[in-house]
Amino acid sequence: MRFLIFFVKRIIASNRKLSGVSLFSVIASGGIALGVATLIVALNILAGYQSLFSQKLTNLDSHIQTVGYGTIRLPRTTMTIARIKSTLGTTVKDVQPFIDRLALISCNGKKEGVTLKGVMPSYFAAKPLLKCTQGSLSLSNANSIVIGKTLAQKLFAKAGDSLVAFALKNNIQLSQQNMPAIQRFYIAGIYESGIDRYDDAYCYVPKQTAGAMFDFAPDQSSGFEIKLCGIDEIPEAVDKLKIAFGPGYYHQTIYEMYAQVFTWIKLQEKPIPIVLGLIVLVAIFNIVSVSLMIALEKNEHIGILRTLGARRSVIAKAFLLQGVYLGTLGVVAGNIFAYVLSYLQVTYSIVKLPATVYFSSVAPLEIVPESFILVSAGAMILTLIVALIPSFIASRLSPIDTLKFQ
């Protein structure tokens, strides 16, 4: 074993005849390091997106929404809340009734279509991640409204301004018997969720005001937002609600409400590891060229060793160990580089993104240990397989041919 390690050191180190071997070894290891780091960071970004959307969308809506089919109004609001809590037990964190309808709002001569959502005064207390940028997120006044930052920018609106909301009652076409619901509101505050598209779509008003505007009885609601203690409890909670409430109620999960977002993430999870994995594979194949070059340049040494009685297996093990050594250096360096980049992004948010395109103003990233383990294991397995090629060729060099003209 000592001889084997000594020989490996000699074939990796450069000498006067081959001053570039060490440099090529560094390049081979560096290529693996960059490929491994790139793949790990990409996987961490995908995990960050998954966590970001789960957290922010849950904050914006809920884990589960219980609604009626179509535009059916759900009666007995207080009793339904109590029933939901008793059904889910300790897994439920909060239940909020709401009334929502599509509406057209007008402010400063600008008009935009939104979802007008009537909620209880305690609604925003359960949404700690909704950041208030102007005014306050208070719906204590019957004519108060809270709008998103993106929508406020489109309307050139600020806290204290007035706006008018137009909406159809019962989603029925306008007629003399079905006049539109028209209500003037005063902007109490402007919120920012961090997801630009939703800051543009939702406006919040008092539930009582929305009920009067859309002809809801005091004990009626469009649905109920259910927030659980953890996102992993969604499947079991939905099963319990289906059994407890039966037909007439539809229980939507966050994954169903924002299916397009989570589908987009899933689509990214498939091609990105494959494409970046090819980069790692190309970098690993550099080991073959480096090892073959060393084998050709060190053929005199190999011939002497074979003449002195060294077996083919010893030569093969030496070059195999050399390839694994270079691969291990690259994998370790890649892990360190990936962790440093991930830490800097998580701590200092160095990489900024246009929120209108990527749903977030900074590149979301989550340091996931599984990404480091899986990528490292895959890279090492590929390194071991690829290193077999030069080790086999080196072991097959004939001592007679290598020493014949020396």
DSSP code of residue 74: B
Report the alpha-carbon angle 389-322-310, nearest 5.
Answer: 80
pLDDT of residue 266: 78
Q: Are 56 and 128 in contact (CB under 8 A)?
A: no
Q: What's the pLDDT score for residue 336?
A: 96
Query: What pLDDT, on the 0 to 100 scale, is given for residue 186?
Result: 96
Looking at this protein, which amino acid is placed at residue 236? E
Which stretches within 231-311 are classed as H helix?
234-245, 254-257, 259-269, 271-297, 299-307
Tell me the pLDDT tens digit for each residue of 172-200.
Answer: 665 556 677 889 999 999 998 877 778 88
Q: How many CA atoms lie within 13 A of 345 on its CB side?
A: 21
Instruction: Give me the pLDDT at residue 15, please.
Output: 45
115, 100 contact by CB (below 8 A): yes
What is the rounded distance in angstroms from the CA atom of residue 33 to the CA atom of residue 42? 14
Give the distance, in angstroms, between the CA of residue 306 and the centroid of all CA atoms in the same chain: 55
DSSP letters, 170-202, are: GG----SSSPPEEEEEEEEEEEE-S-HHHHTTE
Closest CA to 209 of 167, 255, 241: 167
Evaluate the CA torsion angle 268, 274, 278, 283 in order and state its sign. Answer: positive
Whether 264 and 197 have beta carbons less than 8 Å apart is answered as: no
- Per-residue pLDDT of the chain in tens (406 residues, 90 and over written 9): 565 566 556 555 544 444 445 677 788 888 889 989 998 998 999 888 888 877 777 777 789 999 988 778 899 999 999 999 999 999 999 999 999 998 999 999 999 999 999 999 889 888 877 889 999 998 989 999 999 999 999 999 999 999 999 987 766 665 556 677 889 999 999 998 877 778 889 999 999 999 999 889 989 999 999 999 988 899 999 999 999 998 889 999 988 888 877 887 777 777 877 777 777 777 777 777 777 776 666 666 666 666 666 677 777 777 788 788 888 999 999 999 999 999 999 999 899 887 667 777 788 899 999 999 999 998 999 888 888 887 777 667 665 555 554 5
The strand pairing partners of 114, in sequence order, are 103
202-206 and 110-119: which strand pairing?
Answer: parallel
Find the angle CA(54)-CA(60)-CA(63) to the nearest 5 degrees.
55
* 124 in Cβ contact with 135 (< 8 Å): no
- CB count in 10 Å sphere of residue 217: 10
Q: Which amino acid is at 95?
A: V
- Cα angle 118, 119, 122 (rounded to 5 degrees) comes to 160
Alpha-carbon torsion (374, 375, 381, 382), positive or negative: positive
Residue with tokens 């050399």: 322
Q: Domain ranges for the chain, please list them.
A: 2-56+265-403, 64-229
Query: Phi-psi region for residue 126, left (φ > 0), alpha (ψ -120 to 50) or beta?
Result: alpha
Q: Burial of 172 by CB count in 10 Å (0-12 exposed, 13-18 middle, 19+ buried)? A: exposed
Q: Residue 217 in contact with residue 210, Cβ under 8 Å?
A: no
Kindly provide the b/e burial profile for residues 40-58, where b requires at least 16 CB atoms within 10 angstroms of the residue's own CB: bbbbbbbbbbbebbbebbb
